[in-house]
Every structure is written in C-alpha cells, then in structure tokens.
Amino acid sequence: MSAKHKTQATWGGRFSAGPAELMLQFGESVSFDRRLWSQDIRGSKAHATMLARVGILSAKECAAIVRGLDGLAREIQAGKFKWQLELEDVHMNIERALTERVPAAAKLHTARSRNDQVATDVRLWIKDQCVAVEGALVALLKTLVKLAAANATVYVPGYTHLQRAQPVSVAHHLLAYVEMFNRDRKRFAAASDAANWCPLGSGAIAGTTLPIKREITAKLLGFVDAKGRPRVTTNSMDAVADRDPATEFCFAAALCGVHLSRLAEDMILWSSTEFGFVRLPDAFSTGSSLMPQKRNPDSMELLRGKAARFQASLQHLLSLTKGLPLTYNRDLQDDKPPLFDAADQILLALAVTEATMAGAKFNRERCHAAAADPMLLATDLADWLVVRGMPFRQAHHAVGRLVAIAEKHRLPLHEIPQELALTADPAFTKGWQEVFNLTRAFQSREKIGMPGPRTLEREIKRWQKALR
C-alpha cells in the first residue's frame, strides 16, 4: 500500500481517499474469515442461479459466473489464491478476483449485501461443523459403550463429595457419560436447526426492490426442512442481526466441554497411584523432563482446561451481541474467531477423548479392592432394617451407631461381633451380615436407571442398537 491510500472498488464510490493503513489492519477479517471461502462460493453460485431464473442475469452471464467461481474454488483449494488484506474480507476478495476474470460478475452483488452474505456463509459453515461434531460424538459414544461392555463386571465405589458412597460398576459410571454426550448431540442438532434458515435476500437490512425468489436460493443451498421445503428467514432485520446460531453452537460446545472435563477429571483421579483404577494409553500420556517415574494424564488435563476455552467463546458471543442495536454492526465481524475456535477445539477434544478412552485399561483388582469396602453397603444395611419394619430415619441412626462402633474398634463394618451389634440396636438380629455381599447388592438394583447387572446389560444393548 502506498501512503496515498487506494480506494476500495466495492464501496469506494463516495470516498475521495481509501482507509488508513492502520484502519485496514484493524478492520480486515480476511485473515480469519477466508475459512468461509467454500461457503461463500456456494452462496454466490446459488445467488447467481436464482438471479438467472428470475431474469436478472442472462443464462450466459450466470454460466460464466458459476464457471469463474468454480475456477476460483480450485485456485483457493490449491493454495494459489492471493488473499489481499486491503480487500477486507473473504467476500470482497472473492468478488474482486471473480470480476477481474468474468466481467458479468459485476452483476453478482445485485440484490445482495455482505450483511446477508456473511449471515448465509456462517450458517452454512455451522451446519457443516455440526455434521462433523455429530460424527465425532457418535464415535466417542461407541467407544464408551464398548468400554462399558468390556468392563461390565468391574465394580468400583461410586462417589459423592468425592467420598465413597455406594458400589457401582465401571459400566454404570461410563454410561453416565454416554447419557451426557448423547444429550450434547441433541444440542448440536438444535444449533444446526437454528442455522438452517436462509438469510439471503434480506439484503443490507430491508431486502430489495428487485423481483428475487428467495425460496430458490434457499433450496439450492440446502436450507430445507425434513420434507425438502425451503426455509427462508422471515424478518430481514433479524436475519442480518441474528447471531443465535453461532451462540447456540458455542453453547453446545461449552456444555459438551463441561462434560468432557468431568470425564477427564474422573480419569485423572482414577489413573493416580492413590486410586489406580485405570491406566491411560501411553500415546496420550507424557513423561516429565525431570522425574523419570512420571506418567502424566496430559490428554485429560488438557481436556479439563479446554472447557474454559469453550466457555470463553460462548461468553464472547453473548457479550458481543448484548445491547447491540439492530441490525448489522461491524462489531459482529468479531463473531468468527470464537466460533471457529470452538468448532476446531471441540472436534479435536472429542477425537482425543475417543482415542484416549479407546486405550484405557481398567485394573479389576484395584477396582474390586476399593469396591470391597463394607462401608459402601451401610445404606443397604439400613434398607435391610426397613424391610424388617423400621422407619428409614431410625434405621439410618441405627446403622450410624454401628459405623461408630466399627470406627472405634477399628473393625470392618461386617465383622462387628453380634453382641456388639446388638448394642447399636436390638434390631441387628442374626443375619444382618448377609447384606455385605456385592453380588446381592447389585442384584437388588435391577430397576430402571440402576446398576443391576441385567439392567446394565439391557442398557448396553440399547445403546449399541441406538448407535449402530
């Protein structure tokens, strides 16, 4: 750029001088929005086709434009396209290059603004990303279900407050995450649905006086419902101002990130020497540059950290749009870095989680040693008293007294001598020790949502079928 600033051909008509170098540097988005090139070209091809159908472009002009756009696509794909910062964004870069090759391209921007153009590009991009995320989520779900099936008879303590609570199985624990990630699928599908309305034709703010047919463009771009009927936005002002699809995508990513971070934290704890329940694969662990013995669960720690990044992207979009007057404001250009980052990172995070979990090996011995803690069955013992007619509140106290005796005498709960047990409550007649049997404990939990072995087997089958 010379000191005497070049004027912008696209909007430069009313200006005597182009923007300052500093303004260009500040205002350009092509350094990041060039990622939208294929969506931008798809949008332009559809727009040109529609313009030809309503007679605004001749068939010849349209064909030349489409051919030109296809050529540009090949050039960009091959990395031969010269992106120019002074042309601000992806839209102007492509339009300028096209106009240089195809004179008819000067008519392409008829009945279109960059405002409805960028809204369209981003929506197409979000829909594409949702397809990729759905694939990654399904892959992760399949791996978790497989891992659950392989570890259906590995028992571990379940924790509340990170204190041993009641026995569960590794399968039940893993299937909890299957539920979460399956809900995430629905949230990404909802974001995709929010994006599935075509804003093209909204123009800058109030549409156009020209006789365009928005349904044609929408259909060509795949903005359709389940029956193939076109979905076009129904208010031109909302259409160019709306960033809900991006925000919803980032919300889906943020919540999915929270789920990933909780799984990560469980794996970090479980792979510690203190727990020793699981060994994560070498390929997703790292050593220490100083301590030779170290084997750190880095993939899981990074996942835990990424959750912050997803939340930052969501926060970014919420803050960006808060209090913004209708309709398009240049602030909105900055919606892309957080959106792109959320999509890139969630895809990476899901792939890393899938690969790490695929190589996770559970240590049955360590798991069972922990699950054998008789305290885990204290509640089952209270239930035993309830079956014999004692109100639960009272049973809870009676078992509490028994637990106190066990702690005082340093005895495992089920090894308290009978005479001593009777001092806790006369209801501890002979036979109360039968509760301390994990098989019994699990077999008593064959109700929906519980970790009974047959219930879990059904759950595993249900998921296997659902994910086929």
Which residues contribute to the site for ligand ARG (CB under 6 A)? 29, 33, 89, 114-115, 118, 328, 330, 332-333
Given 31, 58, 272, 288, the catalytic residue: 288
Q: What is the DSSP string of 33-69?
A: HGGGHHHHHHHHHHHHHHHHHTTSS-HHHHHHHHHHH
CB of 121 to ligand ARG, least distance (A): 9
Which residue intervals of 322-409 are DSSP H helices? 336-358, 364-371, 378-387, 392-408
CB of 239 to ligand ARG, least distance (A): 13
CB of 213 to ligand ARG, least distance (A): 24
User: Is 91 designated active site?
Assistant: no
- The answer to whether 220 touches 46, Cβ cutoff 8 Å, is yes
Please state, in angstroms and rounded to a whole number, the distance separating the CA atoms of residues 199 and 119. 6
Q: Coil, strand or helix: which one is 192? A: helix
Q: Which is nearer to ligand ARG, 118 or 382 (CB)?
A: 118
> Tokens 């069972």 correspond to what residue?
368
Please state, in angstroms and rounded to a whole number, the distance separating the CA atoms of residues 43 and 26. 27
CB of 364 to ligand ARG, least distance (A): 55
Q: Which is nearer to ligand ARG, 31 or 443 (CB)?
A: 31
CB of 15 to ligand ARG, least distance (A): 14
Facing residues of 151 across strands? none
Please state, in angstroms and rounded to a whole number, the distance separating the CA atoms of residues 312 and 323. 19
Q: Which is nearer to ligand ARG, 19 or 451 (CB)?
A: 19
**Six token digits for residue 361:** 């090996």
**From the centroid of its chain, how far is CA 275?**
29
CB of 69 to ligand ARG, least distance (A): 18
Length of the chain: 468
Q: Which is nearer to ligand ARG, 91 or 306 (CB)?
A: 91
Q: Which is nearer to ligand ARG, 40 or 184 (CB)?
A: 40
The angle at the Cα of 310, spanning 318 to 251, to the nearest 5 degrees, equals: 50
- The answer to whether 390 touches 429, Cβ cutoff 8 Å, is no
35 exposure class (CB count in 10 Å sphere: 0-12, 13-18, 19+): middle
Please state, in angstroms and rounded to a whole number, the distance separating the CA atoms of residues 165 and 445. 15
Q: Which is nearer to ligand ARG, 330 or 408 (CB)?
A: 330
CB of 197 to ligand ARG, least distance (A): 18
Amino acid at 82: K
**From the centroid of its chain, how far is CA 47?**
32
CA torsion through residues 307, 309, 313, 316, sign: positive
Please state, in angstroms and rounded to a whole number, the distance separating the CA atoms of residues 368 and 373. 9
Q: List b or e across 300-329, with b for residues whose CB sees 16 or more CB atoms inside 10 angstroms.
A: bbebbebbebbbebbebbeebbeeeeebbe
User: Is 288 designated active site?
Assistant: yes
CB of 203 to ligand ARG, least distance (A): 11
Given 2, 161, 289, 319, the catalytic residue: 161
Q: Which is nearer to ligand ARG, 140 or 241 (CB)?
A: 241
Q: Which is nearer to ligand ARG, 121 or 184 (CB)?
A: 121
For the annotated catalytic residues, the residue numbers are 161, 288
